[in-house]
Amino acid sequence: MNTVGAISRHATRKIPSFRIRNEIFQQRRHLSQTNPRTTAGLSQTTPRIQLAPRSRQIFPTQHHRSFSTTDRRKHGDLTPPKPGEERRVTYIDKDQQEHTFEVADGDNLLDIAQANDLEMEGACGGSCACSTCHVIVQSEEMFDKMEEPSDDENDMLDLAFGLTETSRLGCQVLMNKELDGLVVKLPSMTRNMQASDFAEKK
């Protein structure tokens, strides 16, 4: 076998026949007519759809802060006592002025004070989580008639301003027949544990 013959046969194996090349061409031509994008090397003549540009208007995000608020009772919200079942309670304010009210069983000293516009904050809403409804019971005998304070109340009382041996939290003292005639004094200052400072009552 001479060198020319070997090269000729090798070239014949590498070059596809005319029939095969024609089939490949026809397949590519068919593809280019049905979907020009799938044929390599052909220009993409399919017109592009022009979409309207998206609006880039930016709206400011509104951040809402949540606050925990307590609805304070207004004057007249307390249920009036039934005739013959009135319980009298007297508050002495920081100016030594006395305020006496007739209330019903089950009313607590915080609600009574707020319903009658006395200066008693009750920052925690009566949940025994602050000391701003601190009152000082004026009679040891009346103090002994009250139910024992809970551990939570004692914890808050330890933080109260002007603590005495007869101090209680107003939200925890409920009026009843035994406490008829109760007299309590409002301290001149209260400590708001939510702000960790003192707020002088004026």
Contact 190, 199 (CB under 8 A): yes
30 pLDDT more than 80: no
Of residues 67 and 19, the one with the higher pLDDT is: 19
Residues in the chain: 202
pLDDT in tens, 47-67: 444 544 444 443 343 433 333
Average the pLDDT over 108-119 and give the result: 96
Contact 90, 100 (CB under 8 A): yes
Chain region(s) in the chain for CATH 3.10.20.30: 87-200
CATH of domain 87-200: 3.10.20.30
The position carrying tokens 């003192």 is: 198
Pairing of β 134-137 and β 197-200: unpaired
Q: What is the pLDDT of residues 148-160, one digit of tens each?
A: 999 999 999 999 9
